[in-house]
Amino acid sequence: MKKTTVSFAVLGALFAFGSQLAHAAPDWSKVPKRDIQVFHAGVTPIEWVMKKSDHSGRTGLTKGESCVGCHEEKGGLNFDMKRLAGKDLEPKGAPKTMNFPVAVQAAYDKDNAYIRLSFKAPTGGADASDKENDVKVAVMFANDKVTAAAGDKSVAGALVGCWATCHADARSMPGADDKKTKYTKDGAYELMQWKSAKGAKAVDGSVTDKRNMEGGTTGVKADGENKGGTYTVTFTRKLNGALAEGKAAPFGFAVHADHASGRFHHVSMGYTIGFGADGDIKATKQ
Amino acid sequence: MSDNASGFWAKLKRPSTKYSLLGLLSVGFISGIFFWGGFNTAMEATNTLEFCISCHEMKDNVYQEYKTTIHYSNRTGVRAYCSDCHVPKDWGHKMMRKIQASKEVYGKITGVIDTPEKFEGHRLEMATREWDRMKKSDSRECRNCHSFGAMDIEKQKLRASKMHKIGQDEKKTCIDCHKGIAHKKPKGMKEDDDE
């Protein structure tokens, strides 16, 4: 073979190997875990959250308090679970497990953000309409233009997690149009989702005035494995859009367990994830 | 009116010839104690749970709801009865309330809320009346037992302590947030968008 061809081949191999090193998966054993509870939220859209006669905690929100500020204590949830599981807030009947913990880890390097979620998926769900996927995991990141309406006041999206997309007229809510998806009045969320069906493509989308399951620009890759009921889902996406070095982004995540669909997911409240910045979750720099 | 010398009223208006003034006063004073006590006992009897739920309108609706709440059964075994929240404890306000209650007797006789459907139809009106009364009196009946001064905010859960701090800072009264603490909330409540 000619010398130049061999040199090029060797150089090419070196480059390929080098780029692999630059985007290697983090050593997850060295990334700290934080347990975050996800819970079945029932029929509590943002309109309910902002109605004082339904949810007196609305007063906290208009004063700049976040959901987590009142509802998470000593790592556990502080809700009136009896009320949340009752017929008023969950007309279809509550799932057997109202809440469970998800271990969250996050890391990043120059180009990518890596987020890993592990949990034991509960059974006994109240809705089994997704025949293809036993479990789905979604993560949403809000940009700084998201707000939630509170009468004639406005509450920063960062306080309410994903709730700015949750509306009383969205599909699977009682009496809602089956075709109306999640939407947000202002701003946008970047959405990524892993589905457990074999060969399912990772979702790289967004939620604006409707939910878009594709067309995202974050290059989402998602891997999931199920070891005896314990799921570990790892997302890799670009450090762009709502995520940037030196910034903390508001985020939330949801698990659709036991073939659930629509509103029958267990959701987290809104937290912040910091990349070289302070946040509820501080991503480990690689 | 008869001017009969031995008539009943004539007898009462005439000074006593048989009994001493002291005797009359003592008998009057002691009888007064008994009658006042009797009056009070009868009035307090209308403040008991048993009296309130002797009307099926109360027993079948709000009593059943109250039985599922913390004012009925809790860790420390302190129970608030109907009158603790709905009847003022001080004599003046209590008498006013008891006089107003004659309207409720009339309502009972005419059966204004004597079926579940009629009760639900009036629930908003009845709840609003009580809430307005409590707001006007700065939740006086709640303060029979509770007060911010007696609260150990550190011992409360975050959810409660944060809201109570806001309540104190904004000079709110208990009923502003604690509607529905003992009975089901009615449908069609007005939203006060003052916050």
Question: Is the CB of residue A56 less than 8 Å away from at least one CB of chain B?
Answer: yes
Separation in Å, CA A70 to CA A50, A169, A269: 15, 27, 11
Nearest Cα residue to B82 out of B121, B54, B110:
B54
Q: What is the DSSP string of A43-93?
A: S--HHHHT-TTT-TTHHHHHTT--HHHHHEETTEE-S-HHHHHSTTT-TT-
For residues A208-228, give the mean pLDDT. 93
Convert the pLDDT of each residue in A50-80 to its tens digit.
Answer: 998 899 899 999 999 999 999 999 889 999 9
> Is a pLDDT exceeding 60 seen at residue A236?
yes
Written as six digits, the tokens of A126 are 């109240």
pLDDT value, residue A197: 94
pLDDT value, residue A132: 94
Q: Are B41 and B157 in contact (CB under 8 A)?
A: no
> Which residue is it, tokens 């968008």?
B193
- pLDDT confidence bin for A20, thresholds 50/70/90: very low
Percent of chain A with pLDDT over 70: 92
Nearest CA in chain B to A56: B177
pLDDT value, residue B3: 56
Interface of B with A in 129-168 (CB under 8 A): 157-159, 162-163, 166
Nearest CA in chain B to A61: B195
| B158 min Cα distance to partner chain A (Å) | 6
pLDDT value, residue A75: 85
CB contact under 8 A, A151 and B191: yes
Convert the pLDDT of each residue in A23-56 to its tens digit.
Answer: 578 999 999 999 999 999 999 999 999 998 899 8
> Is a pLDDT exceeding 70 seen at residue A15?
no
Question: Is the CB of residue B192 less than 8 Å away from at least one CB of chain A?
Answer: yes
Q: How many whole angstroms separate alpha carbon A160 and alpha carbon A142?
A: 10
- pLDDT confidence bin for B189, thresholds 50/70/90: confident
Q: Per-domain residue ranges for chain B?
A: 27-177
> Is a pLDDT exceeding 90 seen at residue B12?
no
The beta-carbon neighbor of B162 closest among A60, A62, A152 is: A60
pLDDT value, residue B191: 76
Contacts of B173 in chain A (CB under 8 A): none
| A149 min Cα distance to partner chain B (Å) | 12
pLDDT value, residue B5: 63
pLDDT value, residue B1: 53
The beta-carbon neighbor of A151 closest among B162, B166, B193 is: B193
> Is a pLDDT exceeding 90 seen at residue A4?
no
Written as six digits, the tokens of A138 are 């979604």
Distance of CA B188 to the CA centre of its chain: 25
Question: Is the CB of residue A62 less than 8 Å away from at least one CB of chain B?
Answer: yes
Q: Per-domain residue ranges for chain A?
A: 27-285
The beta-carbon neighbor of A70 closest among B162, B179, B192 is: B162
Q: How many whole angstroms separate alpha carbon B128 and alpha carbon B167?
A: 21
Convert the pLDDT of each residue in B164-183 to its tens digit.
Answer: 999 999 999 999 999 999 99
pLDDT value, residue A201: 93
For residues A228-246, give the mean pLDDT. 94
> Is a pLDDT exceeding 80 seen at residue B4?
no
Q: How many whole angstroms separate alpha carbon A11 and alpha carbon A105?
A: 36
pLDDT value, residue B173: 94
- CATH level 2 (architecture), domain A27-285: Sandwich (2.60)
CB contact under 8 A, B191 and A53: yes
Q: How many whole angstroms separate alpha carbon A160 and alpha carbon A157?
A: 6
Amino acid at A79: F
DSSP bridge partners of A224: A233
pLDDT value, residue A14: 59
| A271 min Cα distance to partner chain B (Å) | 17
Fold for B27-177, please state it.
Answer: Multiheme cytochrome fold (1.10.3820)
For residues B98-117, give the mean pLDDT. 95
- pLDDT confidence bin for A21, thresholds 50/70/90: very low
Tell me the pLDDT of chain A averaged across its residues. 91
For residues B103-121, give the mean pLDDT. 95
- pLDDT confidence bin for B195, thresholds 50/70/90: very low
Q: How many whole angstroms separate alpha carbon A224 and alpha carbon B79?
A: 53
pLDDT value, residue A8: 67
- pLDDT confidence bin for A11, thresholds 50/70/90: low
> Is a pLDDT exceeding 50 seen at residue B24?
yes
